[in-house]
């Protein structure tokens, strides 16, 4: 394991800045901690608010990520107040949290880690706690104490498993004080704690203990190269896997979203394909998490699909049964150990393992699902390592329940910001590289949606998706090229969306083209292109939408971008107006056919959007001619024409689309919604 310590970098830092630096070195290695796991502390003497020298402890705030941790993520506590608690015999979690709050020095601090007292009771200045894969691979075995003694001798003490809190802190403190030569302790079924007189020493010890554990695991693997048996499943080729998952994911999402919508992330990495294909993976996967800290993300166990059918629709049925039986078992488990007024959490798995196809993880958004994916990769490695050492064993089911329903862990959930209006929604936009499509894609992402941007201009779609991810976070958008007039291209585009996020909730069918000329002069190819994009294009997009949404069984929203020209056509604009009118009629029929499936279908009719619009660039000269004004006067002409005397922008259309897509418009379908500044000629007649 690589030691990242740099004397040069460290020499410029001291105190809590140095603690943050060392914590980031630990966070930089995902084999030590991932996604908010682990914690670190520093004990030192500093002046308090009166200028009096005081013993202080800095401890990582609950939930902050060691990979990116900074000074502000540490709480500053009065150490003598914390140490006083060692004299107590017991303390409830609530008393402890209340007490910790009183020891804070200064306002505006993060909530200190739940392991604060453990750090405080250890009589060493620099203390680091990790959930290192190599260490948990040894702790997660039936005879872990013997295994650990074999590897670490007397340098580390082993503390039996108990949920973090006052008791564990007392145990660790007593062990550390009794033998000052100890370099740390191992928390059984949980992780490693090391300490030292300098951060460099404590960090170095973390690495050297992990390296020793790794070597032992490697030696065990040489002796037992196939602890989970042989590979019994040969994964189909990539294209075949994609095709099956495209059918499977929407129907899975329909079941998994019974309580609240979920985003699904498919992972067919070599590692998951290899693991799920092993003979003994099904049994081993059901034995609990590698560390209870991961329970909030990955739940007690994954769903493992035994003998998956090769037929995609049969497999969909198999998965549905599997998910429902997981739910029944989960509810039994919840009630078996339930005490007091606990609120039951989501009864569905967060990890679904399918031999031959890989793994599906779920979350409220892409990022949450990707955290589950990352954590499970560590989990499956630990299962395999521990199986080579002896056999994988987690904490008991009762302890799993105690941890999963630990009020302090669940309290963290209540601190999360309120979810945005389109959180958990998957939106596909056509023609998303520019103009109205691009503005709408950004607006949906702003409100929390996962956005799949498509466009004839594949690079433009990719740029829009990249821009969204830069603004709203990794995974917020994905993209692919799509020619809406091409049947296969549309199917491939929708498949891309399903494979990226697991399904589909909202489609904004926006791609369009405009050709302007009098009928007598119009080339047939202009007419045909208009029909291909503005009529057939919407049809193909609508058909694919309906197929996926019906399979998913969660309803949905389809919004079609027509034009003011549908109700108030303009001269020299026959191909455009006629093809748009066809699409508007298509939307009405779709609303009729799919009302029973709870798919709402509405039309927006914008007028004269020229800023950032490729469509307008191509016809503005001809439109100016048709209206008898110069190109320079065209903008003013459109502004003067509407009742509000205002320029209609892409963002205005985006807001109308968001409204129609939202639950605020839950009772509106088959409607036309003008966004034209008020054009009286376009009033319904």
Shorter beta-carbon distance to Zn ion: residue 114 or 469: 114
Please give the DSSP secondary-structure letter assigned to residue 248. Answer: H
SS3 374: helix
| Shortest spacing between CB 266 and Zn ion, in angstroms | 29
CB of 548 to Zn ion, least distance (A): 41
CB nearer to Zn ion: give 164 or 196.
164
**E strand map for 502-624:** 506-509, 556-561, 599-606
Q: Which is nearer to Zn ion, 119 or 564 (CB)?
A: 119
Judged by beta carbon, residue 130 or residue 552, the one nearer Zn ion is 130
Q: How far is the CB of 34 from Zn ion (least distance, A)?
A: 12
State which residue, 32 or 305, has the beta carbon closest to Zn ion.
Answer: 32
Nearer to Zn ion, 191 or 537 (CB): 191
Closest by alpha carbon to 133, among 470, 487, 379? 379
Residues of span 266-305 touching Zn ion by CB under 5 A: 293
Minimal distance in Å, beta carbon 243 to Zn ion?
42
Contact flags string 80-119 toward Zn ion, x per CB under 5 A: ----------------------------------------
Q: Which is nearer to Zn ion, 294 or 425 (CB)?
A: 294
Distance CA 80, CA 76 (A): 12
Task: Please say which residue, 126 or 242, places its beta carbon nearer to Zn ion.
Answer: 126
C-alpha 30/C-alpha 181 separation (Å) is 29
Farthest-apart Cα atoms in the chain, separation:
99
* Cβ-Cβ contacts under 8 Å for 234 (sequence gap 6 or more): 277, 356
Cα separation, 350 vs 334, whole angstroms:
16
CB of 129 to Zn ion, least distance (A): 6
- Residue 337 contacts residue 396 (beta carbons within 8 Å): no
List the one residue out of 536, 511, 498 whose CA is nearest residue 461: 511
User: Least separation, in Å, of the C-beta of 293 and Zn ion?
Assistant: 5
Percent of the chain that is helix, strand, coil (3-state, to 5): 50, 15, 35
Distance CA 159, CA 249 (A): 43
Minimum separation from the CB atom of position 33 to Zn ion (A):
9
Give 191 or 199: the residue with its C-beta nearer to Zn ion: 191
Q: Whole-angstrom distance between the N-terminal and C-terminal Cα of the chain?
A: 75
Q: Report, in Å, the least distance between residue 115 CB and Zn ion.
A: 6
Strand order in the sheet with 53-60: 74-78, 53-60, 39-47, 126-130, 191-196, 184-187, 156-159
The Cα 180–Cα 170 span in angstroms is 16
| Secondary structure E strands in 231-367 | 263-267, 303-304, 351-354, 358-363
Size of the site for Zn ion (CB under 5 A): 2
Distance CA 68, CA 64 (A): 8
User: What residue ranges in 599-647 does DSSP mark as E strands?
Assistant: 599-606
CB 276 within 8 A of CB 356: yes
Taking the C-alpha atoms of residue 82 and residue 121, their distance in angstroms, rounded to an integer, is 8
Residue 181, number of CB atoms within 10 A of its CB: 6
Is 12 in contact with 99 (CB distance < 8 Å)? no
Q: Which residues contact 112 (CB under 8 A, 6 or more apart)?
A: 59, 60, 61, 62, 75, 77, 100, 104
* Distance, CA of 436 to CA of 2 (rounded, Å): 50
Tell me the closest approach of the beta carbon of residue 94 to Zn ion, in angstroms: 20
Closer to Zn ion by Cβ: residue 168 or 654: 168
* Shortest Cβ 63–Zn ion spacing (Å): 12
What is the rounded CA–CA span in Å between residue 636 and residue 629?
10
Q: Report the C-alpha gap between 434 and 464 in whole angstroms.
A: 8
User: By CB under 5 A, what part of segment 178-197 binds Zn ion?
Assistant: 191
Catalytic residues: 576
Binding site for Zn ion (CB under 5 A): 191, 293
């Amino acid at each position: 394991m690589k030691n990242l310590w740099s004397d040069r970098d460290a020499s410029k830092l001291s105190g809590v800045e140095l603690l943050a630096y060392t914590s980031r070195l630990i966070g930089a290695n995902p084999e030590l901690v991932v996604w908010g796991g682990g914690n670190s502390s520093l004990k030192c003497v500093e002046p308090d608010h009166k200028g009096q020298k005081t013993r202080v402890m800095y401890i990582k705030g609950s939930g902050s990520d060691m990979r990116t941790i900074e000074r502000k993520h540490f709480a500053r506590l009065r150490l003598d107040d914390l140490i006083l608690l060692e004299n107590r015999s017991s303390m409830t979690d609530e008393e402890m949290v209340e007490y910790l709050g009183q020891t804070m020095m200064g306002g505006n601090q993060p909530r200190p880690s739940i392991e604060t007292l453990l750090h405080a009771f250890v009589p060493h200045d620099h203390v680091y706690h990790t959930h290192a894969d190599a260490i948990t691979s040894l702790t997660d075995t039936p005879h872990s104490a013997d295994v650990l003694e074999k590897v670490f001798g007397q340098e580390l003490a082993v503390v039996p498993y108990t949920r973090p809190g006052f008791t564990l802190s007392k145990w660790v403190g007593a062990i550390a004080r009794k033998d000052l030569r100890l370099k740390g302790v191992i928390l059984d079924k949980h992780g490693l704690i090391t300490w030292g007189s300098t951060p460099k020493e404590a960090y170095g010890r973390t690495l050297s203990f992990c390296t020793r554990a790794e070597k032992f695991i490697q030696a065990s693997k040489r002796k037992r190269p196939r602890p989970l048996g042989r590979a019994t499943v040969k994964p189909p080729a990539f294209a075949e896997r994609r095709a099956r998952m495209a059918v499977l994911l929407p129907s899975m999402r329909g079941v998994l979203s019974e309580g609240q919508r979920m985003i699904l992330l498919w992972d067919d990495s070599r590692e998951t394909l290899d693991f799920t294909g092993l003979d003994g993976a099904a049994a081993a996967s059901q034995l609990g998490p590698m560390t209870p800290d991961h329970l909030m993300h990955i739940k007690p166990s994954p769903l493992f699909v035994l003998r998956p059918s090769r037929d995609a629709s049969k497999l969909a049925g198999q998965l549905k049964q599997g998910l429902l039986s997981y739910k029944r078992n989960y509810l039994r488990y919840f009630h078996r150990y339930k005490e007091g007024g606990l609120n039951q959490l989501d009864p569905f798995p967060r990890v679904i393992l399918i031999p031959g196809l890989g793994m599906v993880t779920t979350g409220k958004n892409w990022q949450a699902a990707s955290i589950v994916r990352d954590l499970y990769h560590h989990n499956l490695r630990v299962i395999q390592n521990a199986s080579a050492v002896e056999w994988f064993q987690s904490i008991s089911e009762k302890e799993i329940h105690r941890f999963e329903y630990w009020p302090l862990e669940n309290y963290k959930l209540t601190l999360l910001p309120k979810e945005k209006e389109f959180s958990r929604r998957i939106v596909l936009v056509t023609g998303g590289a520019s103009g109205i499509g691009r503005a709408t894609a950004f607006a949906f992402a702003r409100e929390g949606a996962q956005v799949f941007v498509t466009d004839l201009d594949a690079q433009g779609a990719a740029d829009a998706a990249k821009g969204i991810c830069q603004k709203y976070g990794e995974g917020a958008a994905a993209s692919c090229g799509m020619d809406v007039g091409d049947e296969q291209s549309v199917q491939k585009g929708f498949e891309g969306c399903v494979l990226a996020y697991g399904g589909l909730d909202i489609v904004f069918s926006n791609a369009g083209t405009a050709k302007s000329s009098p009928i007598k002069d119009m080339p047939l190819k202009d007419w045909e292109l208009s029909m291909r994009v503005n009529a057939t294009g919407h049809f193909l997009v609508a058909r694919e939408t309906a197929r996926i949404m019906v399979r998913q069984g969660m309803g949905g929203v389809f919004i079609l971008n027509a034009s003011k020209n549908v109700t108030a056509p303009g001269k020299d604009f026959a191909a455009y107006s006629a093809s748009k009118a066809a699409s508007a009629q298509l939307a009405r029929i779709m609303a009729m056919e799919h009302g029973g499936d709870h798919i709402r279908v509405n039309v927006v009719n914008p007028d004269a959007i020229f800023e950032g619009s490729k469509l307008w660039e191509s016809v503005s000269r001809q439109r100016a001619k048709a209206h008898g004004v110069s190109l320079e006067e065209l903008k003013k002409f459109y502004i003067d024409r509407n009742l509000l005397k205002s320029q209609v922008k892409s963002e205005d259309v985006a807001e109308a689309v968001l409204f129609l897509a939202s639950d605020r418009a839950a009772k509106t379908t088959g409607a036309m919604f003008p966004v034209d500044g008020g054009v009286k000629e376009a009033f319904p007649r």
